[in-house]
Every structure is written in structure tokens, then in C-alpha cells.
Amino acid sequence: MDSKPIERVQEIILDERLSISAFEKACGLSNNSIQTAIKRKSNLKDETINSILNAFPRYNPTWILTGKGSKLVDNVLASDSKNHNNYGSTPVVITVDSHNEDNIVLVPMKAQAGYIKGWSNPNFIKKLPTFRMPGLNNGVFRMFEVSGNSMFPTLPDRSYVVGSFVENWVKDIKDNRLYVIVSNKVEDGLVKRCINKIEKYNNLICKSDNRREYPTQSLHPDDILEVWEVKLHLNFNIPDPADIYDRVNDLEGEVISLKEIVKKAKLLP
């Protein structure tokens, strides 16, 4: 018996290393539409196939419909399809709650090394704690614990940031904003202040706010797995502004004293 298009769609999902829900989201399809078709081995509507081809144009429509011909247009391998013009994608793994709302997955500091290895593994992601937060809608969000002092004083050690997934790195990474950069090439923490030179020089400049101790890094996009724009900062250790005021007052007093000393010195014969 000839296989159906839905079986070849399953193959695409495997090639793209996506969960079924992430694939549906990437194609703009309703929740569980592909999941239901897979279970029932039902035929796909023309508009569904068109949505898949719009989201993944490298796949040969003839192959999807009939199983004939090459799987990929011009025989481009799916693993090699990322290029200078389309860095970024849909998150590989998305978890949802009982109401089919996207969860905010927390990546604590102790899990960050594992996240870099298991970011595309649904079993790993599903083991991480999840949350819902007010005011964060219309996007895919993930929470990361800040590790170290590379972003101090903007982001203290052991605070948290919530990032919104960045799909198009070339267009959507804005200069001097904060991003979570998931890459095994980042040496001192996930969160960086970025300068986007992907289109011009094919690299992303990642700066620490604590630049006296942590040097600026340059990353090639091929070394980056995910990018999340920081939208929210959670800090449970609220700083005492009195310390800052006292330092400013002390400095002001010292300046006044120095001025008086200089003034008196000028009056001496």
C-alpha cells in the first residue's frame, strides 16, 4: 500500500528535530491538527500542505504529495539548510499546560550545562520546572538563572531573566539589548549585551556589563543554538540604595575638602 502524505510529514518532523506541537506552531496550524492526523493516518487538506511548504520550502511538494522524486528541493540537506539569510527558527521543544498554553520553562543554573546539550530533547525539557507569568503573552518564553557576575550590576548573580524566543537573528537582534545566548562557546554565562553584525560580518558581538573582568566575545552564528531576548528580570535580593547614597555623599565631601585645601594653598605666600 502506498504511504500517505502524513507519513512523509512525520519524516519532515523527525528531520527538523521538532516536537509535533512545535511543528504545528511553525506552520501556523491549530493545536493537535497534525497529531490527530498522525493517529488517524488521515489525508491532509490542501491548505495544510501549503502551510507546511510555506514554513519549510526546502521540501519537494511532489515528494510530500506522492512520495516520488527527491525529498528536498535541489537536494539541499535539512541539516545544512541554515544560511546567512535565515539564522533562527522555531523553538525545537515547546511544552504546554492543560489549557494548551505555552509554559515558561525554567533553566536553573545547575541545569544550564545540560540544557546546552539537551535543548532539543523533549524528555530533558519536560523535566525542567515550568511557570505561568502575567503580562507575558503572544510569544514563546523561557526563564534562565543568571550565573556569575559578568552582567553585574545590571543582573546580579542568582537572579533570573525571562526571554522571548528570537526567530530571525539577522533582523530581530537589536544592538545593545540583553539576550540569552545558548551556545557552548559562551565562556562566562548565558546572558549578554549584543551587537548584531551577522549580516555584515557574519558574527554576533557579545558584551558583558562587567567589562573590567569579562572580555567581549565574538560568536559565529553556526555556534549558536538559540537566542532569547530578555523581557523581564527577577531579583530576590533587593539592593539597599543607602549604600550608594552614602558613597556619593562621601565622595562629594571629599571633593569639597580638596577644593578647600587647594584654595588655602593658593592663599599662602
- Residue 214 pLDDT: 92
Q: For domain 104-234, give the CATH number.
A: 2.10.109.10
What is the pLDDT, as a whole number, of residue 155?
Answer: 94
| End-to-end Cα, the chain, rounded Å | 111
Task: Cis check for the bond before 91: say yes or no (omega within 30 of 0).
Answer: no
What pLDDT does residue 60 have? 87
- pLDDT score of 65: 87
**How many other CB atoms sit within 10 Å of the CB of residue 60?**
19
Domain ranges, ordered by start, for the chain: 5-80, 104-234
Please write the tens of the pLDDT for every residue from 208-253.
999 989 999 999 998 899 999 999 999 988 776 666 556 667 777 7
CATH label, 5-80, candidates 1.20.1440, 3.30.70, 1.10.260, 3.40.50: 1.10.260
Q: How many whole angstroms separate alpha carbon 230 and alpha carbon 143?
A: 9
Phi first, then psi: what are they for 124, rounded to 5°? -70, -45
pLDDT for the residue numbered 9: 93
Which of 19-24's residues contact partners 24+ apart within 8 Å by CB, and which partners? 19/92, 19/93, 19/94, 19/122, 21/94, 21/96, 22/90, 22/91, 22/92, 22/93, 22/94
Question: Could you give the CA distance from residue 225 to residue 120 in angstroms, rounded to a whole number?
Answer: 9
Say what the pLDDT of residue 256 is: 81
Instruction: Report pLDDT for 269.
Output: 64
pLDDT of amino acid 183: 92
What does the pLDDT read at residue 2? Answer: 58
For residues 138 and 19, what is the distance between their CA atoms, to the nearest angstrom? 20
Supply the pLDDT for residue 145: 95
State whether residue 103 is helix, strand or coil. Answer: coil
pLDDT of residue 140: 84
Q: Which amino acid, residue 64?
A: I
3-state secondary structure of 44: coil
Regions of the chain short of the pLDDT cut 50: 1, 75-85
Residues 6 or more apart whose CB falls under 8 angstroms from that of 232 comprise 133, 136, 161, 162
